[in-house]
Chain A
């Protein structure tokens, strides 16, 4: 009987229960990779790609992005890590771990023949209940004075930073982060906080500028004669080139009288002098431009005690505009006072190996810049990522200001609540919700494992504490320092509740998505025509092939 070819040559299909199990295996394998990065004692991963770039990171989303996974089911995990990063900023390792655990708990049921739809339904119910519980347990920091808020936010930031590379200096950085976020105010756009990296020195030398700072740009002759420090200067921001060159490319000058030649040359010089004059007349003491400022202009300004910098990066220029209240001009005609910016102090300082231009004391003050110092490039890059996470956390906490106890406390509490609830349900979903609750315990368990403590012991103690009917054990979590349990709330180990609820939601969605797939079809790429003719009639249980990841 000749075979019937239904699909294109080179198509790869797998189907049935085996497929589902192999998908789950792939996802568990991925979760294992990031497992050890969780928590304050988590380890970092060093990844180098074929271009030779080396990245050291603890951040789940970064690692997932760099892993370059091909297995389609595991790719879903990468997606949720990315979405957690963009929505909340932190908790990316948590979300991958949770998704992996949900699937691991589901595996025995699937192998026993439970229809995945039942699992999905119960998981969704459990997720909903968990989110409600988080809302109940969250503590609000709304309505407190600014000082109190600042200290609360600093504690949240410190919790985030404690699991990262710069955790050693978390108090120092936490207060920096909180100051920066409060500086950008309500109109918060993330790119208004600039992070500049300068190798050299050590972490402690990093500082926060309540204004803008950027590296000195390329400068022409005459630069050194310009004054480098101003008090209360007016600042002019330009988007044009101050150079002696032709106005338009396709201009041609045709003369009939050679004596006119001199007047043309004079005219060209006049144009540029005119422009420079207008800049000076506006009263500005500092001139910044996105395009180049030529040597003629630099010397002209130097003669008149004006500082100028050309080829400033777009981002930096925007930040200066926002901070000083000026607007970027595309023409020097008609410069009115309100487009000029002001600040208290402008100066050029030497930081490490570089010279930086620093604007501080800006009136509208809607920006901040953090200058990072450190030993190695990778180190500083990781520090930047960690700070980014912390900044996102503080922003979220500022917006919906509810926090929950960290250190695995909230997970244990939800787990207990779900187990209790499950007992009230008659039917199969009781088992599923139970396994969902068990999966949630992976967070405190992993925290202990990473720290080298005996997980079983600690978890038992935690369970007992949480089962106390008075509810006083609700905020007990893992204590990293002693290897026992402690009240996370009073120890200031906090997380914004939005991190946890988003993580649980995303992990549940991903788990449900993977459970709901019973067939995978991979079409051949449009460029490569060949591939085994694996497209033969798949009218039965295909032996699922997990791609790219080793099977458990």
Chain B
């Protein structure tokens, strides 16, 4: 794990801390990310030093602090939004929830989500089929 984080920070344009944590298989909420960042950020520079990040991240991983969301729970979440139990969601409805409730999406995030999840022919979101996007590689 360590060489990956190190190299990516070194080589590329800066990576967001959330991206790194997510890609290590963790599922923090926005509040979790906020707390994590506060713990490791260099003052208010907007940058994080690797030396500070590594021990905190290691601890998170060892404690399994932000475990993944079980598939059935995710399905339930979609079903809560799908009040009439149609088996799909309209893009407008999903947009309303994603951009108005919880840790709201930006317009850009919403556009991206719709491009990725909407069935282009029917213009609907068949959430049951999309759940498998959650799958994590077993050996990571």
Same complex origin of A and B: no
**A residues near B, CB below 8 A?**
none
List residues of B whose CB falls within 8 A of some A CB. none
